[in-house]
A and B are shown apart, each in its own frame.
Chain A
Amino acid sequence: MAISFNIPEKLQQGLQMTEAVAKAVMREESRKLDENEHQRPATFISMMWPVLREQQKRQLDRPSGERKREGPGSFNLNMVLTFEILSWGDVGQMLCLPTALLAGAAIEAVGTPEQKERFLRRFAEGDAPAWGAMAMTEPGAGSDTSAIQTTATLDPATNEWVLNGEKIFCTNGKLALDESDGIVVVWATIDRSAGRAGMKPFVVEADTPGVTVEKVEIKHGIRASDTASIVFRDARIPYENLLGSAEVRRPEVTTMGFKGAMATFDASRPLIAASAIGVGRAALEFVKEKLAGEGIKIPYDQPYHNLSAVQRDVIEMEMQLKAAWLLTLRAASLIDHGLQNNLEASMAKTKAGKAVTAITQKAVELLGPLGYSREWLVEKWMRDAKINDIYEGTGQINTLIVARRILGYGSRELR
C-alpha cells in the first residue's frame, strides 16, 4: 500500500453522464421545483429510473459472496462522487432518486435471500419507479433514537406483527408509500423494557392497511424532497417482514439491533457529507464566476496581507470545502478497503455539515443584494445546505461520537 489520492479513470468516465444530468436537467428545474414545493422532479426521475433499475438489478442478481472475493472495491468511493455531483445539481432532486437507498442498505445488510427478493425486486424491474425509505425519528425521539415509542406486537394467532405509533421526518415516505409500490423500513420496539435491545427494523410495504402518510412537511430547503409523517394504527405485517432476529436479551447475537441501525450510518454519513460538499461547490463556483466577471481574481500564492477581505473569504471557503471533501473521501474509501470507519464517518459528516453551512451563507453575503435574490440559486443553496448539518445525525451528535472515540469513552461516561 501507498498513500494515494488517485480517483480511477474508469470511475471518472462513469461520472460524465451524472455530470451531464446535473447540469442539463437538475439545474434547469432547480428554481421551479423550489418555488413549487412537493412538485416531483419528473424529468430527473424518468431519466434516472432506467439507469438505477439496471444497477439495482445487477446488485440483486449477483451471485452471493461475489463482493467479498473482489478485494478492495470502489463502490463507496463511486457513491460519494455521485452524490457530490448530483447535489451540485440539486440536493432536493437528488433525494428523489428512485432507489431503495437506506431501506435497501438495511435489507442488504441483514435480509435473508427471500427477503431481498421480496422487497428489492421492485427496484430492479418494471416501468414505474419505486422508492425505499427509512422511518426512525419520532416526535419524542430525535437524536436519542433509543427512545422510540412505536411498538411492534406479535399476534400469535395470525403470526403477524402489529405496528402502532407515529414516525416523522421520513425522507421519501410519501413517494414510497403513496406514489409507488415502495417500502419503508420502520424501527419499532418489541419490548420497551429492553431499551435499545428491543429495537427492531420491520419492512412495511405500500398499501398496507393501517399505514397512513398524514402530512408532508413544508421546509426551509430541499423542497423537491418529501419529508413525511407516517402513522401506524394496528398495521399488520407478516412475521417475515422483521429484519434480523426477534431475539431481545442477547443483542450481540442479533444481526440487526440498535447497533446495526448505527452501523448503517457509517455508510450513509459519508454520502450526506458528499451531498453537502456538492452544494458547497456549487455555491463556491458560482461566487468565483461572478467575482471573475467583476474582475476579481482569487490568487493562490499570496500572503494574507496582500489579499482583500473578499479574496480571503473565498480562500477560506475553498480550504474548508477541501478539508471536508478529503475527510469524506477517506470515510468512504475505508469501507471499500473493508475497514471500520465509524469515527471517520462522523468526522466527515460534522465537518461537511458545518463547513458547507458557513460556505453557502458566506456566498449569499459575498454577492451582496443579488446574492439574496431568488433570481439566482445561491440563496436556495444556503437553505438546502443547512439540512446536511441536521439529518443523519446533527453536527452535535456526530461531534459526540467523535469525542467518545478519541477519549475512549462509551455513552455512559460521556453523555
Chain B
Amino acid sequence: MISLTPTDEQQMLVETVRRFSAEVVRPAAHDADERGAFPERVVQTGWELGILPGSIPEQLGGFAEEYSAITGALAYEELAYGDLALALQVMTPALVAVPLLLAGTDEQRASGIEQFLDGAPPAVTAALLEPAISFDPLQPKTLATLDDEGCYLLNGSKAYVPLADGATSILVYAWNAEAGQVDGFFVAGDAEGLTIGPREKLMGLRALPMNRLALDNVRVSPAQRLGGEAGIDFPAILAHSRVALAALAVGVMRASLDYAIDYAKEREQFGAPIATKQAIAFMLAECAIEIDAARLMAWEAAWKLDQGEDASKEAYLAKEYAAKAALTVTDAAVQTLGGHGYIREHPVERWLRDARGFAAFEGLAIV
C-alpha cells in the first residue's frame, strides 16, 4: 500500500524541529551568515532536540527501534527549513555516528556510539570531499597504503571538513590501495602529519566553519579502519548521504517558496498583488511541483534503504534531482522578490547561495 503519512512519532519529531527552526534558527540566521557563525546557544538547542540520539537503536543506548533513513529525511528537511548551515552543523556528529551504525564492527560501535548520547555534541567530524574540480567520491585521491608494520599511511588533502578545527576525531575517507575500495579511517585530531588548514571561504554556508585538511603520512592502526578487516561498503553509506542531502535540499526549497508566496501576496504592483499575475503565479506553482517531486524521490529512496534494499540508484537520482530543483526554486524566489530579492536583508539570496552548494556536495557524507 502506498502511504505518505508519517508515523505519529515521526510527526511529533517534525513538529518539534519545525518549531525550533521557526523560533530559534530563523531569527539568528541572517546575522550568523554575516558573522560566520551561529551563537553557541542555537547549536546547543539544536543538539538538544535529540535528533541523532533518537536515531540510534535502543540496544546501543539510543531511543530508536532501528535506524531509519525516512525519519532522518523528515528531520533534515525541517532543520534545513530553518537554515542549511545550522542543519549541517547540528548534524556534523552524524557524519561519524551513522557510518558507525551502518558499517562499524561490534567493537567499534560499542566504544564509539556512547559519545553521541551526551548532553553536548562530541567534537567529531568526517572528511570526504577533496579540493579538485573532478572530485569523484568513488575514486578519492587521498590514499591509504599499508606500511611494514601493518598500519595505514594516509596521504592527500580534504576540503570542506565541517568543524575540523578543534575536532578530537576525524573520519577520513581514502582510497585503500590494497583492498581496492574506499575506506574510512578514524584519525585523531592531533595526529602527527595532520594539518588543519585555513577556514574555507565559500559562496554560501558561511555560518558553518569548514576547513581543509592536509594528510602527510598520517599513521593509523588497522583497528581504526571503519568496519575492521572487511572495511566498508562505501556506496551504501553514500546512498544514505545522498538521501539526506536531498531532504536538506527540500527544506531549503520549501523555505524559499513559502517566503516568495508570502511576498508575492503582499507586494502590489499595477494595483494588485503580484501573485495575481500568471507570470509570478505559474513560476511559484512550478516550484511547488518540483518541491513535492524532490521530496517524494528522497522518501522513496529512504524507504527502500529502510527495507534493507539496494537503493543506490534511487538515492543518486533523488540527490541529483533535488540539487537541480533547489537551484530552480531558490532562483525563482529571488526572481519573485526582484531587486529586493538581491538585497541581503531578505533571506532568499542566501538560500540561493546555499542551494548552489548541493551540486558541489556530491557525496559530502552528511548522513
Contact = CB atoms under 8 A, between A and B. Distances in A.
B196 to A, nearest CB: 26
A351 interface: yes
A295 interface: no
A406 B262 CA distance: 11
| Interface of A: prevailing SS | helix
B4 A333 contact: yes
B303 A300 contact: no
A88 to B, nearest CB: 20
A303 B300 contact: no
Interface string A379-404: 00000000000000000100110111
Contacts of A118: none
Given A6-B1, A399-B285, A409 B275 contact: yes
B3 A407 contact: no
Interface stretch (B37-45, B120-128, B312-320): B312-320
B281 A5 contact: no
A17 interface: no
A399 B290 CA distance: 12
Contacts of A1: 3, 5-7
A338 B317 CA distance: 31
A344 B3 CA distance: 14
Contacts of B297: 319, 322-323, 326
Contacts of A324: 293
A74 B5 contact: no
A77 interface: yes
Interface residues of B, number: 51
Nearest to B277: A414
Contacts of B313: 300
B303 A3 contact: yes
B303 A4 contact: yes
B300 A302 contact: no
Contact of A407 (B284, B294, B299, B317): B284
B226 interface: no
A124 interface: no
B36 interface: no
Interface residues of A, number: 47
Interface string A62-78: 00000000001010010
Contacts of B281: 400, 403-404, 407, 409, 414
Interface stretch (B135-143, B151-159, B202-210): B135-143
Contacts of A329: 2
A407 B312 contact: no
B59 interface: no
B296 A330 contact: yes
B342 interface: no
A37 interface: no
Given A5-B303, A315-B320, A330-B296, A407 B261 contact: yes
B289 interface: yes
A330 B288 contact: no
A302 B235 CA distance: 11
A318 B297 CA distance: 12
A347 B303 contact: no
Interface string B57-89: 000000000000010000000000000000000
A156 interface: no
Interface in A46-61: none
B4 A302 contact: no
Contacts of B70: 2-3
Interface string B310-341: 00111011001100000000000000000000
Contacts of A375: none
A77 B2 CA distance: 8
A36 interface: no
A415 B279 CA distance: 11
B294 A301 contact: no
B317 A7 contact: no
Nearest to A404: B281
Interface string B141-171: 0000000000000000000000000000000
Contacts of A400: 278, 281-282, 285
Given A301-B312, A402-B289, A2 B5 contact: yes
7 contacts: A2-B7, A3-B299, A77-B2, A330-B296, A407-B281, A414-B275, A414-B278
The 9 residue pairs across chains A and B that have the minimum distance between CB atoms = A323-B293, A326-B296, A1-B5, A403-B285, A403-B281, A402-B285, A300-B313, A333-B2, A319-B321
Interface of B: 1-7, 10, 70, 133-138, 235, 238, 257, 261, 264-265, 275-276, 278, 281-282, 284-286, 288-290, 292-294, 296-297, 299-300, 303-304, 312-314, 316-317, 320-321, 359, 362-363
Given A344-B292, A407-B265, A407-B275, 11 more contacts: A1-B6, A2-B7, A4-B3, A5-B299, A5-B303, A301-B316, A305-B134, A351-B293, A403-B284, A406-B284, A407-B261
